[in-house]
Structure 1
Amino acid sequence: MNSELKKSAQNGLYEFAPDGNGCRIYHAETPRYWYNYLWNEDRYCAQISQVGHGRSYYLSEKADMCMINRDDARYVYLRDDADGTCWNIGKGPLNTEVEDYCCTHSIGHTQICSRKNGIEGSWRIFVPKKGFHEVWTLKLRNTAEQEKRLSMFSAVSFYLEGFSYPRYYEMYRCMKTEFKRELNGIYCDSAHPFAPHELYHGFLASSEPVYAWDGDLTKFCGSTSTLTLPDASTCALFQRPDIVVNGKDCTNSEASLFILGGVLQHKITLMPGEEKEIQVVFGISSSCEEACSAVKRYADAESTEREFAESEAYNYEKISSLSVKTPDQKINHMMNNWVKKQADFCIVGKKGVRDNLQISVALLNYRQEKAKEEILECLRHQFQDGHGVLTWYPYDDMRYSDQPFWIIWAVCELIKETGDLSILDTEIEWQDGGKASVLEHVKAAVNRLILDKGEHGLVKIYFADWNDALNITDDPEAESVMLSHQFCLALRELKRMMEYAGDTQYAGFLEKEYEQLKEDINRYAWDGKWYARALSSKGNVGTQDSAGSKIYLNAQTWAVLAGVADRERLAYVLEAVDSMEQDFGFPLNLPPYPEYDAHVGRMSGMLPGLFENGGVYCHATGFKILMDCCTGRGEKALKTLKKIMPDSEENPSAKSGAEPYVFTNCYSTNPEYYGKSYQSWTTGTSAWCMMGLYEGILGVKRDYEGLRISPCFPEEWEEAEVTRYFRGADYHIIIRNPEHIKNGKAEVYADGSICDSGLIPDYQDAKQHRIDVLIKRG
């Protein structure tokens, strides 16, 4: 265990399991909720905090949401019926003290354990490989010397919202709960006339006979334990449910209209040393019969364990084709499973062209078919004129300028990964009707960006580009320097793809466009020491004489990634980027805007140092890691990666609040919130940090002709290993730097034979090949 992991274990807050697959949390009072997400390919997802609560939802293929429970209500209460002591296995929401608390968030499940009143309790949650539900395995063991009589209450709310409908057609007006004997649980029926699919019916059922139940949460929580909402419906508060804390039994209530939920009470008697196991199933279905069929799969412990084992195996199998071993154990724990799980989840949690294309390109490293499916799905949300929607859940077609770039880039990366040019002939629908080949979608994106050029030959920013919060709405002709850099990269990459495809005429056209755009950027956007962020007649953004903020990170990093900065400018750009470094990453812009400026819009309306206004936006810092690798700065790339990893040395999770096993979107530099994190899990930071390590630092890169090895290896590392599946073959790559050479040259051998330019033969033979890489002096 390295020093950072030892430090985390010593403070007692958490530690990784030895294999890195689980994170053990030892205190329920984390700085904020630390979540795990569990889901399947049927698009059922459960969010689970360290106390066990969280939202459960289903998102259909057409992105129609069903949010199953209101206010994240998923709780299990225990009560010793002899003395009235009541508690939760995960401590909350009753907040009664428990002993030996431990929550293990793992790749395929979450398990929460504790002891109280002589009872060892365990609550395991997993989402099966197939179906629209989650399974709770609850185990109670009597460690006392006398008999224990317990009541266990499994409680959820029912919401079933998340889709569009006319005003006054709220779902609660169409719902009722009923205890179904054949289900052995509560069934929440709905009859909404505008429901977009049939799965708007919830249920909570058990494998063991239910003693009593409540479908009306007012009866369970108590009429004074409610919060009245504007429409006069109520939402239960679960901190002190009346039935639990006052020693009562459930009332066998059912409900319609208001405060619907499901509570199942079990009476359990345990002799000393005796253990009881109960399966509880929570989810949605198209009918009660379908719910009954689902619950029967978990009739006993043996059948449940088979389902659990299948789910566990699948969750590991889908991310198993890519792995790494470095001298840094924390990087190994993060990058072997958690970052891949996080990126994979972003496909479930996000539905946007820009977002999902970035995530999909990262997925090409280990889930090639899923990545291809998602890239083609994003093309369906492109209009015939070349631009794309921002998101299709919720639907938002506000004109952001950067969607066409991501389309070009992602398709190029897909062809590099597969080598399959026939993909370009696949016909894909347009958002506004009709269909065209993938190549025609790509060409439409190129044409859109060319047509969107402004006065200086750079691409217009419109409402915003990648930075959603940079809104130059007072100048419709403003031009984005970042997007223009990105378009240069797209033109360069697409030119190579067209040459690979044999279309030299179109490749020549792209080359001319690239050279012209590069020339225009350097003529009009270069500010003497760095690149401006945007050009505008109302005042350029991100220049030395700009009002408010003077320099933007993305305008510099993408200039390097796209090859726009020549050697002389490159030295200035790197110096400028290095000057922006903070304790835990690189701010998006400096200095932050001190007050609102209508010229740059929303970002300046935030407190200085928060989010896009001078905060360390980790997604953008991920771009910077790859920029370092492009310039041979392996040490800086590694240092930057470690800065923005969760629970870093300078910004531990106890301070930032972020989960220690997944990347976050940003850290605040505001003195009042210094180091605090906002959003984790659904952030492109995961994708770019994964690419930064595997493709940048370790240099395992897809290319049209095959897999190319070109590491930017840090001198502090002596050796690292990577396994990678590529085009039907497995590669075990061993990189050695015995002399700790800085910015050395890689000598690559495939099965003992030297590879020119680091290009490995494209075997496609279903075999494993050993790749040896030796770092030598250049």
Structure 2
Amino acid sequence: MFDNGYGFFSDDYREYIIKTPKTPRPWINVISNGDYGVVVSSTGSGYSWRTHASLNRITRWNQDIIKDDWGKYIYIRDASTGFFWSPTWKPVCAEPQSFELSHGLGYSEFRTQYFDIFSRLRIFVAKNDPVEIWQLTLKNNSNKERKLSLFTYLEWNLGAAPDWHREFHRSFIETEYVEDKNCILARKRLWELVNEKGQHWNRDWEYTAFFASNITPVSAEGSKEHFIGMYGNVTSPKAVVEGKLFGVFGKWEDPIASLQHEITLKPGEEKTLIYLLGAVKTDESLEEILRIYSSKTRAEEELESVKTYWSKLLDRFSVETPDKAFDIMNNVWLKYQAISGRLWGRTAYYQTGGAYGFRDQLQDSQIFLYLDPEQTKKQIKLHAAHQFSSGIVYHWWHPLSEEGNVSGYSDDLLWLPFVTVRYLKETGDIAFLKEKVRFCDGGEGSIYEHCVRAIDNILGRFGSHGLPLIGTGDWNDGMNAVGTGEKGESVWVGHFLYGILKEFEVVCELAGDAERKEEYKIRAFELKEAINRHGWDGKWYLRAYKDSGEPVGSSQNQEGKIYLNAQTWAILNDTASDDRKRLAYESAKKYLFREYGPILFHPAYSIPDPEIGYLTRYAPGMRENGGLYTHAGTWAVLAAARMNDPNTYSIYRSFMPVYRGMEPDKYLVEPYVTPGNVDGPDSPYFGRGGWSWYTGSAAWYFIAGVEGVLGILPTWEGLKLDPKIPEDWDQVSVKRLFRGVEYRIVIKRTGRKEIIISGEKIDGDVVPPFKDRKSVDVEVHI
């Protein structure tokens, strides 16, 4: 399905099957159980981590998208010929007789054949344990007996990554081989995190890393020099060329882990080996992990458990439309990307992270509103715990160390009330407002108090135009110089804040806070007046004011004349009159809506503007400098739906990965997940994708599909049903949970506009909550 020459989707949508390792860029999978994680690319490269992909990297990896030659590898050597290859493609890069790779939900599986030896390598992470499992099955498809030597290879990192000063860091790592466990152990006597006294460089790495196999090896190796050979390389390492390891371990090496196995295969015979890689704390049982997962049967059961988990979770929302690409993305891959990649892994190939972004994972957690709202609730509480009593928050913070960067961004703290409102509308869980969470600088407050402190903090920081100060930036980090003099203002934050104030008039009433409700009502009115007095440029809204008072995103500007977010959020949050909405939307469509999606602004900056920030320093058309920033593009889809644009789905489809992936040598990145950005028209590579997987656009693209295209919106009163499906869609079926009830919604094109619940027509377009039923059947006629 959707074969683009490099790969295609399986019939059940749950695998993307790659036919060649030579994809236009590394096409990866991010596999995580919420704590332990693995990234594996189409070439077989990648890395592993626990809890934090940058502070607690287990294996070494260097970011090189072109070479992609850092990873955890297996070599297979034929004893009779001396030829060797890998069951993946890297690092040997031998030409396979056949190659197929399935990236699935929680696993990847390479199926290759070299020199008449078929191999199946499954890589996955245990559901509840800090271990990744490699299940390697080899089958002899030749007509003669084959004697094979298997060599594994990985480099230990053990701590912060990248470990730039390798000669320093390796001095603290020690390895040993434990013969009765078939296991290499690795520890480090240094961790970059401060200790309990606040001292640097004086703390143990608090784990033991391990690499083991279920079959006793003939030899093992812990020295990179002995394995690769001086001035050698991973393509043809000395140990594999010569067919032997030296068994060197200890505290004095550049540390690796290699196990050597010798197997003999008769014609038609197959054998399976299991390798286990992970890291345990002192209170976790390595012996138990090795005992459980060294069993072939138990490993296969664990993989089935992982698959079942993902299926049950993702199937809580499903859609069936005439467009299989829409179904693929919204039934499977957007949800998987948002959870495994963004919420749990928080890392990928173009950006290796590990920290929590205050605004980032809060927005990502919206995906759980459709699947398991308790997880959104937990995310809200986690972020509330990283808010100061003043209302200010950490822009980002590190799990493990809890160190963070105190935010000077004007939007960060507002995402807490924004997502809380989304959670309340979805669940009706008003009692949540009373739950207590500590502030990170001491004391505690209810969720309601956390939210209003965020709002009140921003309300205390306004500029001369009656607009919110932008500070060190707003949603667009690259506008990091607009307001460093504490005078620059953000029109977009004005739109954003106005919507939150209006929603919190309802929340304040639910909380019994009449005084604050009235205050927010007044402030919202004043803000709307200021936006329309000082933020309107004639045909569209300005984006911001610099410290100097010069407008950004104005027809007066030579570059960056019109910005997308300032138009879309004027529509989404009703800060504009109907006439201005129409003008702003028409301007956005004229200048910004392009064939590969709505670009962030136009035209791109060709000369850096030090009064705006680093977004002007990107190459023109690249990333934030006039490209499609996919996150913002999703808001354009929602705005199109609000404007009743009959082309809403065409706009959505214009940057859909499945269809963009049908021109893979232009698009380059994976066809099954959203990219962070796509080059805009000012780039010679217009249409080129980049920064895939680790992007906040996955959850929002899902929301744009469900709430924008399908028009199923949670409100305070119930589910609003206002579809914007294309003319050639005659019927759509949706299964969606809402306030604990399963809604089975069928949208039919009949020429009459009505909503029928259990055979009875209702007034209006809002389906009220049903507390006394397990499921509700709804027909929407359009």
Pick the TM interval, shorter chain.
over 0.9
Residue 47 (str. 1) matches residue 45 (str. 2): no
* Structure 2 counterparts to residues 417-566 of structure 1, below 5 A: 417-471=426-480, 472-473=482-483, 475-536=485-546, 537-566=548-577
Match of 1:70 among 38, 43, 60: 60
Q: Name the SS for the 2:106 alignment partner.
A: coil
The C-alpha deviation readout for 1:200-220, integer Å capped at 9, x for no partner, is: 321110011111111112111
Which range is displaced more, 658-667 or 545-554?
Answer: 545-554
What is the Cα deviation at residue 255 of structure 1? Answer: 3.6
Q: 1:371 to 1:131 in 2, by over 3 A?
A: same
Q: Could you tell me how far apart the structure 2 residues matched to 1:755 and 1:169 are?
A: 72
The AA in structure 2 aligned to 1:704 is W
Which range is displaced more, 201-210 or 342-351?
Answer: 342-351
Q: Could you tell me how far apart the structure 1 residues matched to 2:773 and 2:278 are?
A: 40
Match of 2:756 among 736, 739, 749: 749
1:146 and 1:272 in contact (8 A); partners too: yes
What is the Cα deviation at residue 757 of structure 1? Answer: 2.7
Q: Could you tell me how far apart the structure 1 residues matched to 2:543 and 2:262 are?
A: 65
Q: 1:17 to 1:569 in 2, by over 3 A?
A: same
Which range is displaced more, 557-566 or 545-554?
Answer: 545-554
What is the Cα deviation at residue 402 of structure 1? Answer: 0.5
What is the Cα deviation at residue 644 of structure 1? Answer: 1.4
Residue 106 (str. 1) matches residue 116 (str. 2): no
1:702 and 1:708 in contact (8 A); partners too: yes
The AA in structure 1 aligned to 2:208 is H
The AA in structure 1 aligned to 2:239 is I
What is the Cα deviation at residue 650 of structure 1? Answer: 8.7
The AA in structure 2 aligned to 1:40 is N
Q: Could you tell me how far apart the structure 1 residues matched to 2:28 and 2:378 are?
A: 27
2:100 and 2:110 in contact (8 A); partners too: yes
Per the alignment, residue 313 of structure 2 pairs with 318
Q: Could you tell me how far apart the structure 1 residues matched to 2:40 and 2:162 are?
A: 26
What is the Cα deviation at residue 261 of structure 1? Answer: 1.2
2:60 and 2:161 in contact (8 A); partners too: no
Q: Could you tell me how far apart the structure 2 residues matched to 1:761 and 1:337 are?
A: 28
Q: Name the SS for the 1:423 alignment partner.
A: helix
* Structure 2 counterparts to residues 213-252 of structure 1, below 5 A: 213-225=220-232, 237-244=233-240, 246-252=241-247
Q: Could you tell me how far apart the structure 2 residues matched to 1:141 and 1:765 are?
A: 57
Residue 337 (str. 1) matches residue 332 (str. 2): yes
Q: Could you tell me how far apart the structure 2 residues matched to 1:66 and 1:200 are?
A: 10
The C-alpha deviation readout for 1:281-326, integer Å capped at 9, x for no partner, is: 0111125982232111123221111211112111222222111111
Q: Could you tell me how far apart the structure 2 residues matched to 1:198 and 1:545 are?
A: 56
Per the alignment, residue 233 of structure 1 pairs with none
Q: 1:64 to 1:681 in 2, by over 3 A?
A: closer
Per the alignment, residue 685 of structure 1 pairs with 697
1:750 and 1:771 in contact (8 A); partners too: yes
Residue 362 (str. 1) matches residue 375 (str. 2): no
The AA in structure 1 aligned to 2:379 is E
What is the Cα deviation at residue 476 of structure 1? Answer: 2.2
Q: Could you tell me how far apart the structure 1 residues matched to 2:11 and 2:451 are?
A: 45
1:464 and 1:470 in contact (8 A); partners too: yes
Per the alignment, residue 209 of structure 1 pairs with 216
Which range is displaced more, 393-402 or 418-427?
Answer: 393-402
Q: Could you tell me how far apart the structure 1 residues matched to 2:462 and 2:135 are?
A: 59
Q: Could you tell me how far apart the structure 1 residues matched to 2:128 and 2:44 are?
A: 22
Residue 725 (str. 1) matches residue 730 (str. 2): no
What is the Cα deviation at residue 503 of structure 1? Answer: 4.1
What is the Cα deviation at residue 65 of structure 1? Answer: 3.2
What is the Cα deviation at residue 598 of structure 1? Answer: 1.0
The AA in structure 2 aligned to 1:671 is S
The C-alpha deviation readout for 1:370-414, integer Å capped at 9, x for no partner, is: 111111111111122212111113722241110122111111111
Q: Could you tell me how far apart the structure 2 residues matched to 1:204 and 1:746 are?
A: 62
What is the Cα deviation at residue 768 of structure 1? Answer: 2.2
What is the Cα deviation at residue 647 of structure 1? Answer: 4.4
The C-alpha deviation readout for 1:241-299, integer Å capped at 9, x for no partner, is: 1212x232111121424421101111010001100001110111125982232111123
1:539 and 1:546 in contact (8 A); partners too: no
Match of 1:31 among 24, 34, 38: 24
Match of 2:379 among 374, 378, 389: 374
The C-alpha deviation readout for 1:137-192, integer Å capped at 9, x for no partner, is: 00000111110000111221110112899x99965332111111232121112233
CA RMSD of aligned residues (A): 2.2
Q: Could you tell me how far apart the structure 2 residues matched to 1:194 and 1:585 are?
A: 42
Structure 2: any 5+ residue segments left out of the alignment? 62-69, 196-203, 347-354
Which range is displaced more, 710-719 or 287-296?
Answer: 287-296
The C-alpha deviation readout for 1:547-589, integer Å capped at 9, x for no partner, is: 4221111111111111011011112111111012222011111
* Structure 2 counterparts to residues 73-222 of structure 1, below 5 A: 73-162=71-160, 171-192=169-190, 199-222=206-229
Per the alignment, residue 422 of structure 2 pairs with 413
Per the alignment, residue 50 of structure 2 pairs with 58
Q: Could you tell me how far apart the structure 2 residues matched to 1:169 and 1:501 are?
A: 59
Query: Taking structure 2 as the reference length, what is the TM-score of the superposition?
Result: 0.92
1:646 and 1:652 in contact (8 A); partners too: no
Q: Name the SS for the 1:115 alignment partner.
A: strand
Q: 1:263 to 1:766 in 2, by over 3 A?
A: farther
Q: Name the SS for the 1:447 alignment partner.
A: helix
Q: Could you tell me how far apart the structure 1 residues matched to 2:267 and 2:661 are?
A: 49
Q: Name the SS for the 2:103 alignment partner.
A: strand
What is the Cα deviation at residue 591 of structure 1? Answer: 0.5
Q: 1:721 to 1:502 in 2, by over 3 A?
A: farther
Query: Taking structure 1 as the reference length, what is the TM-score of the superposition?
Result: 0.92
Match of 1:768 among 762, 775, 781: 775
Per the alignment, residue 607 of structure 2 pairs with 595
Per the alignment, residue 351 of structure 2 pairs with none
1:500 and 1:704 in contact (8 A); partners too: no
Q: Name the SS for the 2:157 alignment partner.
A: coil
The AA in structure 2 aligned to 1:51 is T
1:401 and 1:461 in contact (8 A); partners too: yes
Q: Could you tell me how far apart the structure 2 residues matched to 1:222 and 1:247 are?
A: 11
2:509 and 2:517 in contact (8 A); partners too: yes
1:67 and 1:161 in contact (8 A); partners too: yes
Q: Could you tell me how far apart the structure 2 residues matched to 1:756 and 1:711 are?
A: 16
Q: 1:480 to 1:737 in 2, by over 3 A?
A: same
Q: 1:219 to 1:614 in 2, by over 3 A?
A: same
Q: Name the SS for the 2:370 alignment partner.
A: coil
Q: 1:146 to 1:181 in 2, by over 3 A?
A: same
Which range is displaced more, 171-180 or 415-424?
Answer: 171-180
Q: Could you tell me how far apart the structure 2 residues matched to 1:574 and 1:168 are?
A: 53
Per the alignment, residue 665 of structure 1 pairs with 676
Aligned-pair identity in percent equals: 31
The AA in structure 1 aligned to 2:693 is W
Structure 1: any 5+ residue segments left out of the alignment? 226-236, 740-744
Aligned length: 746
1:44 and 1:59 in contact (8 A); partners too: yes
Per the alignment, residue 232 of structure 1 pairs with none
Per the alignment, residue 230 of structure 1 pairs with none
Q: 1:663 to 1:143 in 2, by over 3 A?
A: same
The AA in structure 2 aligned to 1:118 is D
